[in-house]
């Protein structure tokens, strides 16, 4: 086949670029996992990836800030900043010694997160890993998520264990061997 008989396709006509491709790939992987092993198990698999991402991101921020550990204020700033960098729209709703409450108006996965609540484990584990590594403990509750059809997300990062923990709370602890 000669070059003359193979017309060029303009990229804009297809609407496919790396970001959309990778988000769709993650959506399909999460959907396949949810269909094959169920939501709980799929969330578990994605949690493993989220924990690894959390450790990597935490290390990058601590290196950039030249600190061994982030303070609570730095943790909340980092959580908002990292989501901004990947096109989320997270913001602090409330911050106390005991918890950081975040809202979100735009998921980094965009509309592709709809129907894929297992992808929210990325947020839970990245937030939980960063908070726990720096502050010793984190309990993350995903009160509302765009993936479940809400207009906004509400994520609560508890900074102290509670005797009356919510059933949906995922707990994270500092790893002694992490730097």
Between residues 54 and 175, which one has the greater pLDDT?
54
Residue position matching structure tokens 């799929």: 42
Checking if the pLDDT of 72 tops 50, the result is yes
Whole-number pLDDT of residue 29: 93
pLDDT, tens only, 101-127: 999 999 999 999 999 999 999 999 999
Mean pLDDT of 133-149: 96
pLDDT, tens only, 32-66: 999 999 999 999 999 999 999 999 999 999 999 99
Checking if the pLDDT of 179 tops 50, the result is no
Whole-number pLDDT of residue 9: 55
Mean pLDDT of 154-167: 86
Checking if the pLDDT of 25 tops 90, the result is yes
pTM: 0.86
Handedness of CA 164, 170, 174, 177 (dihedral sign): positive
Mean pLDDT of 142-167: 91
What is the rounded distance in angstroms from the CA atom of residue 74 to the CA atom of residue 148?
29
What's the chain's average pLDDT? 90
């Amino acid at each position: 086949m000669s070059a003359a008989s193979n017309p060029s396709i303009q990229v804009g006509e297809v609407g496919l670029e790396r970001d959309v491709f990778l988000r769709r790939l993650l959506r399909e992987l999460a959907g396949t996992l949810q269909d094959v092993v169920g939501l709980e198990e799929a969330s578990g698999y994605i949690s493993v990836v989220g924990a690894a991402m959390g450790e990597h991101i935490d290390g990058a921020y601590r290196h950039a800030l030249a600190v061994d550990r982030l303070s609570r204020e730095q943790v909340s700033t980092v959580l908002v900043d990292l989501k901004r960098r990947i096109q989320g729209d997270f913001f602090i709703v409330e911050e106390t010694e005991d918890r950081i409450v975040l809202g979100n108006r735009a998921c980094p996965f965009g509309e592709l997160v709809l129907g894929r609540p297992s992808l929210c484990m990325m947020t839970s584990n990245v937030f939980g890993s960063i908070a726990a590594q720096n502050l010793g403990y984190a309990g993350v509750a995903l009160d509302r998520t765009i993936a479940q059809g809400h207009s906004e997300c509400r994520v609560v990062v508890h900074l102290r264990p509670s005797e009356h923990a919510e059933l949906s709370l995922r707990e994270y602890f500092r790893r002694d061997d992490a730097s």
